[in-house]
Every structure is written in C-alpha cells, then in structure tokens.
Amino acid sequence: MCVLKNWMSAAVIAAFAPLALAQAQPETQTGTQSDSSVSQQLDPVVASDDVTTEAVKKRFSEAFGNMPVDDVRRAPFGLFEVRIGDGLVYTDESVTFVFDGHLIDVQTREDLTQARLEELARVDFDALPQELAIVQVRGDGTRKMAIFEDPNCGFCKQMRRSMEEIEDLTVYTYMLPILSQDSRDKVQNVWCADDPSQAWDAWMLQNQVPPAKQCDAPIDELIALARELGVQGTPATFFADGSRVPGAIGKEEIEKRLQ
C-alpha cells in the first residue's frame, strides 16, 4: 500500500500556487459538541471521527485560502481523503502534507484512487428521467445503457457506429447540445421529428441532416440534467450498475460493461 511522502506534488503546486502555504499549522480543538444523532452520541468513535474529519476539512480549506472543500473522510490506508469537485487529494491529520495522485495497493495492484472515483461517480440508473431520452430497443432489450451525445461530436458518432452490432440492448440517448448553436438546432429538429429515433440514427450514422422542425424541445432540461450528473463532455455513458465512462469506448468494452 502506498504511503504519504513528505512533499507536495507538482500538480498540487500548479493548481494551488496562488494560495499555497509552505506548511499549514494545526489548530487547537476546543472540544465543543454540535447537535448529532443519538447513534453518534452513543458511539464515541463515530463522534470522534466526525470531529476529526471536520477539523481536517477546516484546516485544509484555510491552508489554501479558504478553498471550498466538498468532503473529507478518513481513508482506510491511514490518510484523509479530501474531495474537491470531482477530484481527490490526500493529506495527514494536521494538513502538513498533501499528496495529489493515485494510490496503488502494492499487494493487489489495485488503483485505490480510481476505484474511489468510480464509486463517487455512480448514479441511480433507474432514476434517470426516461422522458428526456430517445429510447431504442434491440432484441429483448434486457441490457441497458444511457449515453449523452452532442450531434456534432465526432467521438459520439464513432462510438455510435461501434454499438450497431450489439444485440439485446436498450439505449437511452440524451441529446446534449454543448458544442455550437448548430448542435442546438439539430437537437431541436431531431426531438421534433416524427420519428426521433430514426432521425437521430440517420444523422449520427449516415450524416443525413434532420429537416427543420418546431416544437417544445426540452433542451434546457437536458443541459440541466447533464450538469446535475456532472457530465462535462460527450460522449458520457452510464450503465445499469450505475457506473459511468467519460469518453468514447469500443464495442468490446461496452459488451464487457453490459454483462
């Protein structure tokens, strides 16, 4: 298992340079108690962990110019995991050192950081709003995936072609016009088409431009959904187990994740 080194990586320095301190000074705890659940009051270990992680969160934020910190938790390998946006760094209890990088379990060779990032990125697949999706069913449709695509995204078209021969699949396509006004126009025209599924495949697979149509297309809702899920680019794929994959992947990887 990797251990903390007594230096701050270049990546952290680059990210935090305007705010970085050579060494953060630990603060004295006052021992004050906030409102907590009955279970925490009865379990001093849980209460102590909460106090410690909150203290680490406060120290870390102050050490970097009151930087917003989303969460801090005690990691199983003796450090504290600090979540900032969709990224992770690690620190010690006094926030004397910060490690920015991936931690690897030496015995198992597992990338612990990547595993944690994937865990944090999981979604409740069944809670995705199907009314905003173009739904396509192949075969018995038992295997499921959802994908966010911009109509002018070349990697989206590439991935769409790689999906053509995958059977027994239900695909929920969330059109996400983020590249240009032309993308918004195409999403509008596809959504308002007599057969949106056919119109989308005709464009993505055969470059047949969808005819201009007018209706109340939920473009703002689609963009809001992507923002809520933390989708930052296309394609972005979600599988039935809640896992996500940013970027295009090939047929073999898709089949593997559909198992």
The string of pLDDT tens digits covering residues 186-215 is 999 999 999 999 999 999 999 999 999 999
Would you put residue 85 in left (φ > 0), alpha (ψ -120 to 50) or beta?
left
Integer Cα distance of 96 and 26 in angstroms: 8
Mean pLDDT of 228-257: 93
CA distance 138 to 142: 9
* Mean pLDDT calculated for residue range 64-70: 92
Q: Is 156:253 a contact under the CB 8 Å cutoff?
A: no
**Token pair listed for 181:** 């006004």
Minimal CA–CA distance to 22: which of 14, 11, 31, 13? Answer: 13
- Strand ranges in 157-226 using DSSP code E only, listed in sequence order: 169-175
Q: Is 250 left (phi over 0), alpha (psi -120 to 50) or beta?
A: beta
Per-residue model confidence as pLDDT tens digits over 17-56: 333 333 333 333 333 333 333 333 334 444 557 888 899 9
Q: Between 258 and 7, name the one with better pLDDT.
A: 258
- Could you read off the pLDDT of 161-190 as tens digits, one per residue? 999 989 999 999 999 999 999 999 999 999
